[in-house]
Chain A
Amino acid sequence: MENFTPYLSLAGGLIIGIAATLLLAAGRIAGISGILGGLMPPAPAADRKWRWLFLLGLIGGAVLFPIMGGDISYINLNPYNFSDEMHYGALIVGGLLVGLGTTIGAGCTSGHGICGLGRMSVRSLVSVCTFMAVAGVVVFVIRTVMGG
């Protein structure tokens, strides 16, 4: 538990909740996979501008964080210490599964998690429990195979 950051994580979570509230005040759910999916056919083209702006902001917020004094040295992209080749493979497989799964299951950590749980949606609760449980099992398997 040496990397435990309860205060920063709580503060970040509160800001994320405020961001989702702001977007719902304009009528929309801040689900990133849904916002991304709406940029692709068969979604209507007229509905795209706000999605691009939100995603641009999502990147912009991460650009601003270190400029405003935030520390990003904590970021470690390779949690399993894979070789470079293995890591690229994992990112491709992981990315494909995330894209497939969030589209088929209609939401991700933000849409089902932050927003769906906020709406007290039972579908979102089932989704969150399912993806957390599966993710926990898969991490356990990879850690065990990689030698703990």
Chain B
Amino acid sequence: MFLVIALASGLLFGYGLALSGMLSPAKVVGFLDIAYNWDPSLAFVMGGGVAVTVVAFHFLLKRPHPIFGDKFYLPTRTDIDKRLVIGAALFGGGWAIGGLCPGPAISSLAYASPKIAVFVVAMVVGVLIAKTLFPSKS
């Protein structure tokens, strides 16, 4: 059951990304480009997504167990540390340069562009470098 849900969630997520405009780096950069030619569309993606999760998660997380599964796997840390901020800053820089974050990058493999493939390979290499050189202690 869990595996079916993982696949279904992925399918919905990918469809939502394609519908939302997030698969276009030009749209992402347009959202970030407040000074020159701002396209606020992606605020509606984040706004719509969080509007759902903030309500649904509230009720789901009141339960002792998930509906389909034995336990919730949630982040436990609550402190603001250097890794959180430095990591987010590096990510923000890469997002601006390539116009892709991890979800849209992987989802866009659907359209078989060599440019997307290059980005995804570089991203996986980045993950491996970070896991090797800067392993998290928690």
A residues touching B (Cβ–Cβ < 8 Å)? Answer: 1, 3-6, 8-30, 32-33, 36-37, 40-42, 49-51, 53-66, 68, 70, 72, 74-80, 87-88, 90-106, 108-110, 112-123, 126-128, 130-140, 142-143, 148
With contact pairs A19-B16, A78-B25, A102-B87 given, residues A57 and B131 touching in the complex (Cβ less than 8 Å): no
CB atoms of B20 and A16 under 8 A apart = yes
Tally of contact residues, B, Cβ under 8 A = 118
CB atoms of A90 and B7 under 8 A apart = no
A139 to B: closest C-beta gap in Å: 4
B10, closest chain A residue (CB): A57
Binary per-residue interface labels of chain B (24-53) against chain A in the complex, 1 for a CB within 8 Å, 0 otherwise: 111111101111111111101111111111
CA distance A53 to B13 in the complex (A): 12
CB atoms of B57 and A118 under 8 A apart = yes
A62, closest chain B residue (CB): B110
B residues touching A (Cβ–Cβ < 8 Å)? Answer: 1-3, 5-30, 32-42, 44-54, 56-57, 60-61, 65-75, 77-80, 83-103, 105-111, 113, 115-116, 118-131, 134-136
B126, closest chain A residue (CB): A99
With contact pairs A36-B102, A58-B13, A98-B101 given, residues A133 and B123 touching in the complex (Cβ less than 8 Å): no
